[in-house]
Copies of this chain bind each other. A is one copy, B any other.
Amino acid sequence: MNIYRANIIHTPTPNAFEICPKAYICVGDDGCVEGIYEQLPSCYSASQVTDFGDHLLIPAFCDMHVHAPQYRNMGVAMDEELLQWLNKYTFPEEIRFAEMEHAQRMYSRFVHELWMQGTMRSAVFATSHIPATLVLADMFLQSGMGAYIGLVGMNRNCPQPLICDTEQHLAGLQTLMQYLHDRQKDEINPLCKPIVTPRFIPSCTPDMLEQLGRMAQQYNLPVQSHLSENMAEIEWVKELEPDVPTYAHAYHKYGLFGQTPTLMAHCCYTDGEEKELMRQSNVIAVHCPTSNSNLASGIAPIKQLLQANIPVALGTDVSGGNNLSVLRTIQYAIQLSKLQYAQYKRTVPFISLSEAFYMATKAGGSFFGNVGAFLKGYEFDALVVNDQYLNHDNYSLLHRIERYVYLGDDRDIVVRFCRGKEISKPRRL
């Protein structure tokens, strides 16, 4: 049993923050929240309390779409749109993950930086290389943080060194599953899991897609991929899959769209039949506003997806996104929504601060189980935020969380928890 005291702020629903000033939160030995209390109940009075004073205690962030091997390209190479950008910058960098030394160095930095930014859970694309993906898995296992780790499926339309044929890829996925499963048994870190990861329709032959869909269902593995990010990409998918009405239907046909829990990144042009299939299939849309700006993909219709009851989480999408900060991504999500509101002549409302914060915590967290809020039975993933410098004039707690979103950064995070355990800084090679 651990008891913490701080200004507790979270979003049990998207509509508003729940704010508990100088309250107690009790966390069981299973790492799950037992309750939040204004006064500590007598049954807990024998336990010691860790008092974080006037600090904020908020749910840790969930980054639901990010490419670990693109860490070196973060903050550079943003003068092209998606398809040219992949060929010119992204694939050449991913090829380097055949070298284990490069993989170790970059993946250690990536995991270190996730920690810095307060991201305790993530859904990650590795590359198509099996050994390097096991290195990434190891880094996450050692960190204590949670992650879905994706060995990337790609067997066409990319440079030869990234091609991995269907059989090899499926064997690699089996290896990764077994590797993570063994370490779960050993209780090293039960929070790292495999995820089926076809890069996107153009990168995978129908055969690979079909077999990945079958494997996802056989082992009940979740799925992640890209959907309707860029106009040229959408046109290309139409050519490759002329028999289905939308891009989403192509994934669906292969068993990769909601047959098991599914994340689809971007959805910049998701509307009509595609939107309807998303809703029916309980697919989570992962909004990547920074990346959608940097690659000139456009503004995703996030409010419209929410209005259609499609869950929306957030992703940094490094290196389409230029940083690993989910905090900054919250801000971009709101700002882009406001620009769309202006563009659509105020006919669609913009998303609120609490809605965007919910996306970054509870909406993303739902993919991992009961994660992303401080409700009873939820895993205690939390950040302790010292916003002393930002709180220079006695701001209200609501203004303090707003200022942290708009002005804070990694410096302000002083303690990080994942499923009840304090997570220490990962080693950076």
A contact residues vs B (CB 8 Å cutoff): 72, 74-76, 78-79, 105-106, 109, 290, 292-299, 322-323, 331, 334-336, 338-339, 341-343, 350, 352-353, 390, 392-393, 395, 399, 402-403, 405-407, 409, 411
Q: Is the CB of A342 within 8 A of B409?
A: no
Q: Known A323-B407, A336-B339, A343-B343; judge A296-B75 contact (CB<8 A).
A: no
CB distance from A286 to the nearest CB of B (A): 19
Q: Is the CB of B323 within 8 A of A406?
A: yes
Q: Known A72-B393, A352-B79; judge A342-B298 contact (CB<8 A).
A: yes
CB distance from A224 to the nearest CB of B (A): 24
Q: Which of B109, B296, B407, B409 contacts A339 (CB 8 A)?
A: B296
CB distance from A425 to the nearest CB of B (A): 14
6 additional A-B residue pairs with CB within 8 Å, beyond A74-B403, A75-B405, A76-B406: A293-B339, A295-B338, A298-B342, A299-B342, A299-B343, A323-B406
CB distance from A347 to the nearest CB of B (A): 13
Enumerate chain B residues within 8 angstroms of A335, measured Cβ to Cβ: 290, 293-294
Q: Is the CB of B296 within 8 A of A338?
A: yes
Enumerate chain B residues within 8 angstroms of A342, measured Cβ to Cβ: 296-299
Enumerate chain B residues within 8 angstroms of A409, measured Cβ to Cβ: 409
Q: Is the CB of A293 within 8 A of B338?
A: yes
Q: Is the CB of A341 within 8 A of B296?
A: yes
Q: Known A298-B343, A392-B109; judge A75-B338 contact (CB<8 A).
A: no
A399 to B353, CA, bound (A): 33
Q: Is the CB of B339 within 8 A of A299?
A: yes
Q: Which of B76, B109, B295, B411 contacts A399 (CB 8 A)?
A: B76
Enumerate chain B residues within 8 angstroms of A76, measured Cβ to Cβ: 395, 399, 402-403, 406
Enumerate chain B residues within 8 angstroms of A323, measured Cβ to Cβ: 406-407
- Highest count of chain B CB atoms <10 Å: which of A299, A322, A323: A322
A140 to B282, CA, bound (A): 57
CB distance from A189 to the nearest CB of B (A): 26
Enumerate chain B residues within 8 angstroms of A402, measured Cβ to Cβ: 75-76, 78
A323 to B406, CA, bound (A): 8
Q: Is the CB of A407 within 8 A of B338?
A: no
CB distance from A345 to the nearest CB of B (A): 8
Q: Is the CB of B350 within 8 A of A296?
A: yes
29 contacts between A and B (CB under 8 A): A72-B393, A74-B403, A75-B390, A75-B402, A75-B403, A75-B407, A76-B395, A76-B406, A78-B334, A78-B402, A78-B406, A105-B393, A106-B393, A293-B335, A294-B335, A294-B338, A296-B339, A296-B341, A296-B350, A297-B342, A298-B339, A298-B343, A299-B339, A322-B407, A323-B407, A339-B339, A343-B343, A409-B409, A411-B411
A46 to B322, CA, bound (A): 45
